[in-house]
Amino acid sequence: MKNKYIINAFAALLLMIGLTSCDNRELVQVDNSAAPIAMDLSAEHIFLDKNYPDNPALNVSWTQAAYTVPVEVNYKIEASKDKDFKTPYVLGTVAQSLRTATYTVSQLNTAAQTIGLTKNIEGKMFLRVISALGANQIKAVSNVTTVNVTPYALEYPNFFLVGAASYVGWNSGVAQALYKKDNFSYIYSFLTPEGFRFLGQQAWSPINYSIDNPGTDAASRYFKQTSANIAFSDRENMKFTGAAGIYKIEINADGAVQSLNATASPLGFEYPNLYVVGLNGWNAANALEMTQVLDSAPPHLPIPGLFQITTTLGANSEMKFLGQKAFASLEWGNILKDNNGNSGFLGPKDDNSNIVFNGNGGSYKINVNLKAGTYTIE
């Protein structure tokens, strides 16, 4: 019993000493004593040639940022269209051991157009280097320097949707193409809660696009941002987690964004009737009725969302599709507002324009697939 009291007293003494030591700890303050200085750019005028996207275009070097104690420093290189860096673009980040960075033609071109320089016209790009500790703590900013850059028109990737979540399943040979306009790609199509990915071609290789996640194969990491109904699935695929239905799938391929969103469409695809309006005037009461396509296998039931009609089309024929003989909620046209044309992709009411087709006065078959979000005229 006596030994027990001695042990307890000794433990209490150690605790008191420890607390006293904590109270007397020396606090070390870390400050930056010198900002990094962008000392040298490898060129003053750069004409970017799209034929050589992987060639080195610009080298940036700077002096080391100094802090009052030895610390791990990270550097970030930023580009901007204005000297105040109101909307900076991050060219890249490097670790403490490096004080130089080289950027390719493609990388510099993406930066130039992201900050707003005009293609094929020389413009001024402002550059600076920022040093920081850890997660952007105790930052120091270099002086600003400039380079004159002539960018070329960006060529954004093509995207093809494939997977159990999609209308076409896992058949890469018929993967669904998206409608591309500048850096955006779109389609209104059926999705169900399953796995999927995007391809760069209607084949499994060489290009695949999936979510930018540590669990995804490095070569397939692409989408930096996704809507809440899209999640990581496995090393190659994403998973759609929403309810089954028609969704507007939208990709922003801007190098600074690379986002993927799936938003529920106001319209479905299972409707008993479909009409063409515009070919014989824009009076919806006179719209031409289309025929619902039947399954080739017995008992030859109608295929939901699939319609066709054969009719005569002259030059500059314009049309839309209606789910009733009136301009009401069930309406489809060429995808996107203010986008008259013949893209082959459907958009619902309030997100479509007239379909315009230059026929020769002959007979054409018009096919509509509301589930896939497409139409053809042949």
Q: What DSSP assignment string belongs to 323-359?
A: SSSSSSS-EEEEESTT--B--SBEEETTSEE-EEE--
- For residue 127, what is the domain's CATH number? 2.60.40.10
Residue 9 belongs to some domain of the structure: no
Total domain count for the chain?
Answer: 3
Whether residues 182 and 121 fall in one domain = no
The two structure tokens encoding residue 209: 């696009």
Residue 228 belongs to some domain of the structure: yes
Whether residues 257 and 282 fall in one domain = no
Whether residues 143 and 221 fall in one domain = no
Q: Which of these three, 264, 291, 314, is where a domain ends?
A: 264
Residue 58 belongs to some domain of the structure: yes
What distances in angstroms separate CA 358 from CA 60, 332, 342, one per listed residue? 53, 19, 9
Residue 6 belongs to some domain of the structure: no
Asked whether 125 and 85 are in contact (CB, 8 A), the reply is no
Whether residues 215 and 233 fall in one domain = yes
Residues 6+ apart with CB under 8 A from 243: 193
Whether residues 182 and 246 fall in one domain = yes
Whether residues 184 and 260 fall in one domain = yes
Residue 14 belongs to some domain of the structure: no
What distances in angstroms separate CA 290 from CA 125, 325, 373, one per listed residue? 56, 12, 17
| Torsion angle, alpha carbons of 249, 252, 253, 254, to 10 | 180
Closest CA to 154 of 183, 115, 123, 177: 183
The two structure tokens encoding residue 302: 């109608």
Number of helical H runs and strand E runs in the chain: 2, 34
The pLDDT tens digits along the chain (378 residues) read 444 433 343 333 333 334 334 444 333 333 444 555 655 678 889 999 999 999 999 999 888 766 555 556 788 899 999 999 998 999 988 876 678 899 999 999 989 988 989 999 999 999 999 887 755 566 778 889 999 999 998 889 999 999 999 999 999 999 999 999 999 999 999 999 999 999 999 999 999 999 999 999 999 999 999 999 999 999 999 999 999 999 999 999 987 789 999 999 999 999 999 999 999 999 999 999 999 999 999 999 999 999 999 999 999 999 999 999 999 999 999 999 999 999 999 999 999 999 999 999 999 999 999 999 999 999
Whether residues 309 and 280 fall in one domain = yes
- Tell me: cis bond preceding 206? Omega within 30 of 0 counts: yes
Location of structure tokens 């320089």 = 117
Location of structure tokens 């960006």 = 154
Per-residue HEC secondary structure of 206-222 comes to: CCEEEECCCCCCHHHEE
A 10 A CB-CB count for 141 gives: 17
Residue 21 belongs to some domain of the structure: no
Whether residues 304 and 257 fall in one domain = no
| Alpha carbon distance 67, 360 (integer Å) | 75
Whether residues 177 and 213 fall in one domain = yes
User: Judging by DSSP bridges, how do beta strands 73-80 and 66-67 pair with one another?
Assistant: unpaired
Q: Which of these three, 214, 240, 264, is where a domain ends?
A: 264
Whether residues 140 and 164 fall in one domain = no
Residue 359, domain extent: 275-377
What distances in angstroms separate CA 68 from CA 31, 71, 115, one per listed residue? 6, 9, 35
Whether residues 59 and 127 fall in one domain = yes
Residue 7 belongs to some domain of the structure: no
Q: Which of these three, 230, 245, 264, is where a domain ends?
A: 264
pTM of the model: 0.72
- For residue 205, what is the domain's CATH number? 2.60.40
Residue 17 belongs to some domain of the structure: no
Whether residues 236 and 205 fall in one domain = yes
| Alpha carbon distance 325, 280 (integer Å) | 13
